[in-house]
């Protein structure tokens, strides 16, 4: 059992750092940071809360290795909060 856990962790780390195939793997944290900075300046509380919820989901998706979906969530949050995200090409 323990060996399996270690193998899964090793696999997760390999996926996280071997991410040349997942070009957006490093993108989510950058987008999430931009969103958090931007949301802090949003005066409309309802919009800020909605955007925060989406950012939290984006963070979870990123942690789960679903980077493309995470970026999509970030886009959604940015739209609601009226933030323009700077993405790595």
Residue nearer to Cu ion on the CB measure, 50 or 65: 65
| SS3 state of residue 1 | coil
Q: How far is the CB of 49 from Cu ion (least distance, A)?
A: 23
Say how far apart CA 76 and CA 81 lie, in whole Å. Answer: 9
Give yes or no for a contact between 58 and 28, defined as CB atoms under 8 angstroms apart.
yes
Say how far apart CA 26 and CA 7 lie, in whole Å. Answer: 23
Residue nearer to Cu ion on the CB measure, 51 or 74: 74
Residue nearer to Cu ion on the CB measure, 52 or 62: 62
Q: How far is the CB of 33 from Cu ion (least distance, A)?
A: 12
Q: How far is the CB of 8 from Cu ion (least distance, A)?
A: 18
Site for Cu ion, rule CB under 5 A:
25, 28, 62, 67, 70
Give yes or no for a contact between 59 and 32, defined as CB atoms under 8 angstroms apart.
yes
């Amino acid at each position: 059992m323990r060996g399996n856990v270690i193998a899964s962790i090793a696999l997760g780390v390999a996926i996280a750092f071997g991410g040349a195939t997942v070009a957006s793997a490093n993108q989510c944290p950058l987008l999430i940071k931009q969103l958090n900075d931007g949301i802090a300046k949003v005066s409309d509380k309802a919009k800020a809360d909605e955007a925060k919820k989406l950012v939290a989901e984006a963070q979870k998706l990123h942690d789960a290795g679903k980077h493309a979906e995470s970026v999509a969530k970030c886009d959604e949050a940015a739209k609601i909060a009226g933030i323009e995200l700077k993405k790595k090409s």
